[in-house]
Amino acid sequence: MWGCSLGTLLFAPLALSAQLTLEVQGHKNKSGQLQIAISRVIDQLSDDLLWGDLESVRKLTLNIGSVQRQQNIVKLTIEDLPTGLTCIRLYLDLNNNQLLERSAIGLPLEPVGFSNNLSLFMGEPSPADSCFELHDADNVHRVNLKQPKKRKRKSKLGAVIN
């Protein structure tokens, strides 16, 4: 009996298959391609973990057209994901060039979002702050797109220009 249990453990799958319902909001009245990257932590989660250290699980593109742009929330169900620590990064590609447009100092010029809906005040959140546990049961995760802030400029006369 002991040998049978051990054999079962040795041949059990390492990660169960999970389903994720991703709810995205913050896109209203904007059209483009929603570029979604789902990654998972391979080893242990640490504060010095970088986005490049994660294993890419799935990359998806969802067109936000005239119907979706009127909805407050766009829902997308993604199946066959590995369970475990998962991170999501996404952006709304407004000009459909499949690149996240950035300013000269690296700030996003298109709406961006991360799992756990962290603030972008200190820059891009780390994977350690963005990860959540994906379980083998049904999972729902909402990501709010953050809009780039319009910078106010001063004219030569000192007036603020928007």
Inside any domain, residue 8 = no
pLDDT category at 122 given cuts 50, 70, 90 is confident
Quick check: 62 and 80 in contact, CB under 8 A? no
Residue with tokens 């009127």: 70
| 81-98 pLDDT per residue, tens | 999 999 999 999 999 999
- State both tokens at 70: 């009127």
**Any idea what the CATH number is for the domain that residue 106 is in?**
2.60.40
Inside any domain, residue 155 = no
- CA 111 to chain CA mean position, Å: 12
Count how many domains the chain has.
1
Quick check: 85 and 41 in contact, CB under 8 A? yes
Hey, how many other C-beta atoms are within 10 angstroms of the C-beta on 6?
10
Read off the amino acid at residue 1: M
Which element (helix H / strand E) includes 8? helix 2-10
Which of 10-19, 24-33, 82-91, 135-144 bottoms out in mean pLDDT, i.e. has the lowest? 10-19
- CA 89 to chain CA mean position, Å: 2
Give which of 89, 139, 138, 134 is closest to 115, Cα–Cα: 89
Q: Which residues are 154's β-sheet partners? A: 160
Inside any domain, residue 131 = yes
Inside any domain, residue 72 = yes
Inside any domain, residue 144 = no
Task: Tell me the pairing of strands 17-25 and 138-144.
Answer: parallel
CA dist 55 and 78 (Å) reads 17
Inside any domain, residue 151 = no
Task: Tell me the pairing of strands 32-40 and 84-93.
Answer: antiparallel
Which pTM value belongs to this model? 0.80
Give the SS3 label for residue 6: helix
- State both tokens at 108: 């996003």
Inside any domain, residue 112 = yes
Inside any domain, residue 54 = yes
Which range of residues forms the domain containing residue 127? 13-137
Of 39 and 4, the structure prediction assigns the larger pLDDT to 39
| 56-66 pLDDT per residue, tens | 999 999 999 88
